[in-house]
Amino acid sequence: MDASAQTPSRQREPADLRSVAFEFLIEPALLLDPQSDRIVDANSAACTLLGYDRALLLDTRISALHEGQLAALIVFTQAVIAKGSYWSTSLTPRHATGKKLMLEYAATLVPRDGSQLLLLTMSDLEQRQRRNIDAVAEDHMRGGIAAWQRVERVFRDIERENQLILRAAGEGIYGVNAEGKTTFVNPAAERMLGWSADELVGTDIHAKVHHHHHDGRHYPHEDCPIYAAFRDGSIHTVENEVFWRKDGSPVWVEYTSTPIRDRSLVVGAVIVFRDVSQRREADEKLRAALAEVDRLRERLELENAYLQEEIRIETNPRGIIGQSDAIQKTLVQVKLVAPTSANVMITGESGTGKELIARAIHEASGRSDRPLIRVNCAAIPRELFESEFFGHVKGAFTGAVRDRIGRFELADGGTLFLDEVGEIPIELQGKLLRVLQESHFERVGEESTRSVDVRLIAATNRNLKDEVARGKFREDLYFRLNVFPIESVPLRERREDIPLLAQHFLTSEGKAFKANLRLSEGDARRLSRYDWPGNVRELQNVIERAAILAQNGRLRIDLPDHQGFNPTTGSGRPRADARPAVLTDEAMREQERANILAALQATGGKVFGRGGAAELMDIKPTTLASRMKALGIAKVTAQSRASL
């Protein structure tokens, strides 16, 4: 081959060598064209580091490789162009898997055909750190056998000089060198961990007894406080961690890791630990017991508050009074259904004693030692039904400043009485049905499900069948409630019970007024002839008013005029020849005066405001004040208020 043929080959050779050198660089390298946002070339190390094959990498824009880092990329590029070379650790390119890489960039300017390219080398910071650790280990190895022997002597001296203490100590004690290898283990540690000293000495004890947290999460060496003691030279004390026995069971421990120094150099640590499993178990039981006490206390407080409320609002006697066939039939039904867990539907007019029937069923059932919780569905605002039934957690809605137990939870183990059940909004009836079917519910604002054992008794004065037909009551809920129907008979259909009830109420009122009040035969006949549209509740109010108006032990029964009722005939229609009673002006004034005095006595002398005489008489307070002044009652009331 002549010289002319060899020249081109020699001219190409340096370029080829440069290409080979770029390809086989140990450091990942990229050749970048910042003007066109293009990767011109990439070596194999760069492809491996970034996770792309060469063709895909060369087809990827520089900015796309650094998504979201355009500003930092421009600053770095401008710094290289201005200074000729620059480095940075602020850029984190994305691996092909999407993971951000922590790298150090070093770039130099490469002029080429009037353009400016950047030769970029990338260093993996994590790999660099590992290499530094390896370098330290290599330096330590170069220290020779003498250094190793000296460290071993330190731990042998500790073990030999403290042999009696190590054997007698109740705590577990073991030593580890700077590599994490076990150097000695005392008998107490052997007993607690189930490993013998021969099985542990010379091994990585973290991997054997400290490899996972109590919840199963991996416990890396670098996070272990025991190893931290000989990395930072500080004493580390830890409570409530677990060591793992040889059989795989956990033992709760508290321990102290104390660094050991030789000539100011930390060569390992001594670990002292004790088994706190029993103490922790006792603490857990105590916390659970205290939580249960708090729960029961809250429940008892709510039950007490509820029962106090019931005492205030309850006006009917607890017993069912009467000898009529209708009452005897009701008592038989109560006796039949009480021992079961069946839901009961009590229907009937207002004031017929539906709650008394519910109480009788509860008290005759196996749930009588738990409360009967009453809910007046007609008195609950529409937006508060769910909270009232199921309770709520703090912050569930505006005004929910603390957790609150609902009526279902309060009645757990007992009986829930839903009075006026027809008033429940249609949108809540489905949730009520679910509780009845599954015995589960959630408090408002809470995701966890609670279970209850509740016997349900419902009452209504509506015809729920008609409500179902009109779409105002769910048919499935109706059938779920109406398992055992009981009708509460109106008072006009059991007139023989009226004298018994009247005397019962009169006896109660007589005790309150410390008077011996009796019902005459004429009074009983008058009461029995009346139709009582308000039923037992109206009868009680009439007797209470009669006791207030009684003079010298004689009752003054004042029956309301309902639809022309004539107390003389007992008919709802006046007689054709009946003449209206005519009162003189003085008699009318006396009657009005007696009525006002009765109202003042019933309200303890209170004239205005809630529960006052004006509210009781259903007139304006100013009107009552004017009448009192005209009748001369103001002075009388002031003088007698102490006795009212």
Same domain, yes or no: 239 and 158? yes
Give yes or no for a contact between 567 and 527, defined as CB atoms under 8 angstroms apart: no
> How far apart (Å, rounded) are the C-alpha atoms in residues 526 and 530?
7
Lowest mean pLDDT segment, chosen from 77-81, 291-295, 393-397, 409-413: 291-295
Number of DSSP helices (H) and strands (E) in the chain, helices first: 27, 19
pLDDT for position 509: 74
Cα dihedral sign, 275-278-282-285: positive
Residues 484 and 499 placed together within one structural domain of the fold: no
Contact 101, 94 (CB under 8 A): yes
In a domain, 559, yes or no: yes
In the chain, how many domains are there? 5
Give dist(CA 415, CA 371) in Å, integer. 7
Residues 603 and 553 in one domain: no
Query: Is residue 3 in some structural domain?
Result: no
Q: Are residues 163 and 261 in the same domain?
A: yes
**Integer angstrom CA distances of residue 382 from 282, 343, 385, 423:** 47, 24, 6, 9
Structure confidence at residue 163 (pLDDT): 59
**Do 364 and 484 belong together in one domain?**
yes
For range 151-163, the mean pLDDT? 59
The torsion of the CA quartet 38, 41, 46, 48, rounded to 10 degrees, works out to 100
Residue-level pLDDT at 563: 44
Give the model's confidence band at 323: pLDDT under 50 very low, under 70 low, under 90 confident, else very high: confident
We report the CATH number of the domain holding residue 53 as 3.30.450.20
| Mean local confidence (pLDDT), 607-633 | 79
Query: What pLDDT is recorded for position 513?
Result: 65
Q: Would you place residue 514 in the very low, low, confident or very high pLDDT band (cuts 50, 70, 90)?
A: low
Whether residue 577 has pLDDT greater than 70: no
pLDDT at residue 232 in the model: 79
Residue 1's pLDDT is what? Answer: 40
> In this predicted model, what pLDDT tens digit does every residue of 257-289 receive, in sequence order?
888 776 667 778 888 898 888 888 888 888 888
What is the band of 617 on the pLDDT scale with cuts at 50, 70, 90?
A: confident
Pair (72, 193) in one structural domain: no
Query: Does residue 86 fall inside a structural domain?
Result: yes
Q: Tell me: pLDDT of 152 over 90.
A: no
216's torsion region: left (phi>0), alpha (psi -120 to 50) or beta? left
Residue in the block written with tokens 């279902």: 408
Whether the per-residue pLDDT at 345 is higher than 90: the answer is yes
Contact 595, 560 (CB under 8 A): no
Which structural domain range is residue 236 located in?
A: 151-275
607 lies in the same domain as 561: no
| Residues 411 and 454 grouped into a single domain | yes
CATH number at residue 430: 3.40.50.300
- Stronger pLDDT, 310 or 224, i.e. the higher one: 224
Do 199 and 333 have their domain in common? no
Together in a domain, 264 and 407 = no
* Banded pLDDT at 15 (limits 50, 70, 90): low
The predicted structure's pLDDT at residue 357: 93
Tell me if 25 is assigned to some domain. Answer: yes
CA–CA separation, 489 and 486 (whole Å): 9
589 plus 537 within the same structural domain:
no
Q: Which pLDDT score, from 0 to 100, does residue 510 have?
A: 67
- pTM of this prediction? 0.45
CATH of the domain at 591: 1.10.10
Encode pLDDT of 75-92 as tens digits: 999 999 889 999 998 899
